[in-house]
Amino acid sequence: MGYDLEERAVDGLELLRIYAYGLCMGTADALPGVSGGTIALLLGFYGRLLAAITAWTPGRLLAVARGYDPGRRERAREALVELDLQFLLPLGVGAVTALATVAELVSTLAETHPVALFGFFTGLIGASAIALYRTLRITSPTHVAIAVAGVAFALLISSGVIQLPGSGPGMIVASGALAVSAMILPGISGSLILLLLGQYVYLSSELSDFLGALSGVLGGGTLEAAVGPGTTVALFVVGGLVGLLSVARVVRAALDRYRQPTLVFLVSLIAGSTPAPLWNVGETHAWTTETVLAAAVWTLVGAVVLFALDALVGGFDPE
């Protein structure tokens, strides 16, 4: 019949492998302090990921859109190959699966065990900053100034000194653009950006509610409950697409031209974001001795987990 069963089996295994890559990358990006880009480097597909993402240009998308014209169909096929959808689609499905699972867990733990959850995140972030700083060469007063600026900027945002515009549509789109851009950068976690912007718990809850509403629809319910959180998810996805086509390219250009200063600034943002999760604890708990001790213990647990992962993979590298 023209089908090679062995080749089809190999293709199926390849799709499953890429899906598993997506699960790993999505899980990492759902946890502040662990980078999906780092996972991509460790598993050996970062180069392909970056090439596939940067292939999404207006010119190629237009070529695909014009594929209805028989005279342009060959170019449309070439553009589809260049977009590497056979890689991005299973990777994206895997990442979304992981993000949805972790979002449900985070949403639940933020309500039931906020001290443990955010203490753990604090440890992950602080330890990742230490691990990444060890790989950098801060060799000039300019580098020191950039590091101080990055730490200070993150601290001012996370502490609320620099006020951000709540959770309106514009903020959700901007959060999507910045978070998805960060997801492809080794050393920077998309969820860390959301945590820094004060959107992490809110967006995790909205995603969890949206998936729960969809499950209800499949069980015979109405779409009404899915409209609100679905709108939030859609705005975030739009922002993510904007980020992939714009912000990510700006950051990559900065890394190409001013690699060391850019890396120092990015890692310093992580360092300055270390206390950000604890502000969530302060919203629900008084800082009693018991709360402080519990947060400290979970911070230590998070740090140990991150350092153990760092040792296991032979050291994180923001490049």
Residue 319 lies in a domain: no
The label of the residue with tokens 């709108």 reads 231
In the chain, the number of structural domains is 1
Give me the chain's average pLDDT, please.
Answer: 82
Per-residue pLDDT, 186: 63
What number of CA atoms fall less than 13 Å from residue 156's CA on the CB side?
A: 9
Nearest to 317 by CA among 125, 40, 116, 49: 40
> With contact defined as beta carbons under 8 Å apart, do 29 and 183 qualify?
yes
More confident: 105 or 10: 105
Residue 318 lies in a domain: no
Q: Does the structure show a pLDDT above 80 at 188?
A: no
* Structural domain range at position 11: 5-313
Q: Does the structure show a pLDDT above 80 at 252?
A: no
Residue 232 lies in a domain: yes
pTM for this entry: 0.76
How would residue 8 be classed by pLDDT, with cut points 50, 70 and 90?
Answer: very low
Per-residue pLDDT, 295: 94
Instruction: Report the residue count for the chain.
Output: 319
Per-residue pLDDT, 1: 43
More confident: 11 or 64: 64
> pLDDT of 52-68, one tens digit each?
877 777 788 888 888 88
Residue 159 lies in a domain: yes
> pLDDT of 17-41, one tens digit each?
999 999 988 888 888 877 777 778 7
Our measurement of the distance from residue 215's CA atom to the centroid of its chain's CA atoms, rounded to an integer in Å, reads 25
> With contact defined as beta carbons under 8 Å apart, do 194 and 206 qualify?
no
What number of CA atoms fall less than 13 Å from residue 278's CA on the CB side?
A: 22
How would residue 9 be classed by pLDDT, with cut points 50, 70 and 90?
Answer: very low
Q: Does the structure show a pLDDT above 60 at 213?
A: yes
Residue 246 lies in a domain: yes
Residue 271 lies in a domain: yes
Residue 217 lies in a domain: yes
- Residue 161 is encoded by which pair of tokens? 């000194």
Q: Does the structure show a pLDDT above 90 at 292?
A: yes
Nearest to 116 by CA among 311, 319, 302, 309: 302
State the DSSP code for 161.
S
